[in-house]
Amino acid sequence: MERYARNFKSLTQEEQAILFKSNIAIIGLGGLGGYVLENLVRLGVKKFHLIDRDVFEESNLNRQILSLEQNMGKYKTDEAYRRAKAIDHEVDIKTFTDTLDRSSREMLEGVDLVIDCLDSVESRIELEALCDSLNLILVHGAIGGYCGQIALSTPGNRLFHKIYTGSNIANPLGNLPMTCMVTASIQVSLALRVLFNKPVEDELIYVDVEDMNLVKVGL
């Protein structure tokens, strides 16, 4: 347990055991997904479903931790697998290099929690519909420029029809590395609260890393 010695006093032995047994799906392995995976593997999660259809491009290098000059053109799922195994050879990983939609039940079979690291509203709506059919909790994250948003989409209280309407669908703001890092970290913290069965408010969390503000808005 020396590997996890620095987790303790922040996490209990019981909480660490929950992480060892958890199976988490990360949908999208770009700016958010790479940092989410990095956090969860180092925390001690041992099982993952990693889903992304894309390969790395040069424009990913400014913010995506899995993106390196030597892996341009390689599948993000393959590089995520290698990164996770390099940190912890014991992790059990299933990869899906494909598009997820509301019919892709096999991609999420057996998972305990789903983390949304996608980059389009349409894909998120498909993912939420699939999670609803499987009665799964979804941890949402999205970024634009200096700003990120994080929230839970839960059975009986789905999220995207509340937050994605008309004018707030487009993202003309670019994607910055520190916004990815902070937003992904809050997603992971929220995921831990779900896994540890701690109370979570029904709210949307907005973070602005330029002005260093965090605001919670009730839903």
CB within 8 A of 34, min separation 6: which ones? 64, 65, 66, 67, 80, 83, 180, 184
List pLDDT tens digits, range 82-115.
Answer: 999 999 999 999 999 999 999 999 999 999 999 9
Q: Average pLDDT, stretch 157-177?
A: 78
The pLDDT tens digits of the residues spanning 119-166 come to 999 999 999 999 999 999 999 999 999 999 999 999 999 999 999 875
Residue with more model confidence, 170 or 65 = 65
Residue 166 has a pLDDT of 57
CATH number, domain at 89? 3.40.50.720
Q: With CA atoms as reference, report the closest residue to 100 among 50, 62, 157, 42.
A: 50
Q: What is the mean pLDDT of residues 188-217?
A: 97
Number of domains composing the chain: 1
User: Structure tokens of 125?
Assistant: 């709506």
Secondary structure (3-state) at 2: helix
pLDDT of residue 172 exceeding 90: no
Please name which of 170, 187, 54 lies closest in space to residue 116, comparing C-alpha atoms. 187
Which pLDDT score, from 0 to 100, does residue 32 have? 98
- pLDDT on residue 167: 45
User: Rounded to whole angstroms, how far apart are CA atoms 117 and 115?
Assistant: 6
Range of the domain at 190: 2-218
**What pLDDT, on the 0 to 100 scale, is given for residue 169?**
47
What's the CA angle centered on 60, arms 57 and 63, to 5 degrees? Answer: 165
